[in-house]
Amino acid sequence: MTTTCVKRAFKYRFHPTDTQAAELSRTFGCVRKVYNLALAARTEAWARQERVNYNATSAMLTAWKKTGELAFLNDVSSVPLQQTLRHLQTAFTNFFGKRAKYPRFKSRKKSRKSAEYTTSGFRFRDGRLTLAKMSEPLDIVWSRPLPEGSQPSTVTVSQDSAGRWFVSLLCDDPTVKPLPATDGAVGVDVGLDHLLTLSTGEKAANPRHERKDRARLALAQRRLARKAKGDGANRAKARREVARIHARIADRRRDGLHKLTTRLVRENQTIVIEDLTVRNMVKNRSLARAISDAAWSEFRSMLEYKAAWYGREVIAVDRWFPSSKLCSTCGTLQDKMPLNVRTWTCDCGTTHDRDVNAAKNLLAAGLAVSVCGAGVRPQRSTPGGRSATKQKTPRREP
């Protein structure tokens, strides 16, 4: 059986010179300007019931460069400008396919600063990456090697709100291959008291990264609030301090999730999770911060793409399945299961840990559906109209 190489992005920090930083900053601004101009043109054309595609916006870009007002677009590489038009085309394709909302304009202060280069916009030789319009290679911190013999097909340069510079190289990774098949199967119940509870009885502690830095973050935010609004250096310095704390929290959270998901995929052939609508759950004002800190959506995303890489299966059970109220031993369904009940005893005499019991029920339901071939989501077992947080929202976080 032949397998195709997986496209994988390898992200690294780099430290640009002052000249390189100025060039990249100009490129970011031009990319944002072209995106907004093209979006405005397509929006106006749509109001006139006219169709404008990528080819039309590419012709517009050529015309814009010839005007005196937009002549500065010629000062940067044309490759990122063409790529942002392709990204806009993808955004409209997703919108018309009902997979995304209507594209929005990019803000100078709030939008992500990035530029994408294809093979014609960079040179990669002997581990040295040089971008178009630059005479020197980037000073990249090679924290891990690229796959041997692979060449990047695209390079994305970005700068986060904390001022850190990153370069992401998209390469074919021949080392990503399906793992040997195993009989292991596990049910995973996510929560806040414990980040994960497995059907084996194991529980992964919730590190609560945001809570650990909450006092430090609050102090930095108060200092920022006291600075006069504007473009002053003191306000910019205070804003970067807030961004650095947020970045530190996100980095630690992402690192922990990578370790958890990699371990689950390596040890199990089948992983059963619950299909939670996190965007609805965070509307609970009492728990929105804790739910966001747990990053259940990011956990699921990592689990699914790693399972696809390594030949594993992820099964999502319908969120209305009464996993917490169902006895995993005899199948008796309890009438009520208040959130403050963490252990309970069934009529059959079995004492359950609430979260372990839910994980066992998820595993059984997922395996039953997988065997029957009826899809990945069992039908609703309870009437509709209830809050999606009924089983998954624990007590108010202190």
Give the largest Cα separation in the chain, rounded.
82
Sign of CA dihedral 191, 193, 195, 196: negative
Q: Among candidates 292, 361, 290, which has minimal Cα distance to 326? A: 361
- Which one from 23, 116, 189, 318 is the annotated catalytic residue? 189
Catalytic annotation on 355? yes
Check: CB of residue 66 under 8 Å from CB of residue 106: no
Instruction: Note if 126 is an active site residue.
Output: no
Active site residue 44: no
Classify the C-alpha dihedral 381-384-388-392 as positive or negative: negative
Check residue 186 and report its DSSP letter. E
Tokens found for residue 46:
């749509």
| C-beta separation of 281 from 295 below 8 A | no
Sequence-ordered list of residues with C-beta below 8 angstroms from that of 115, at least 6 positions apart, any chain: 24, 27, 28, 31, 80, 83, 84, 156, 157, 158
Task: Annotate 32-77 with three-state secondary structure.
Answer: HHHHHHHHHHHHHHHHCCCCCCHHHHHHHHHHHHCCCCCHHHHHCC
Q: Which of 116, 210, 241, 274 is catalytic?
A: 274
Secondary structure of 187-246 in the HEC alphabet?
EEEECCCEEEEECCCCEEECCCHHHHCHHHHHHHHHHHHHCCCCCCHHHHHHHHHHHHHH
Query: Active-site residues: which are they?
Result: 189, 274, 355
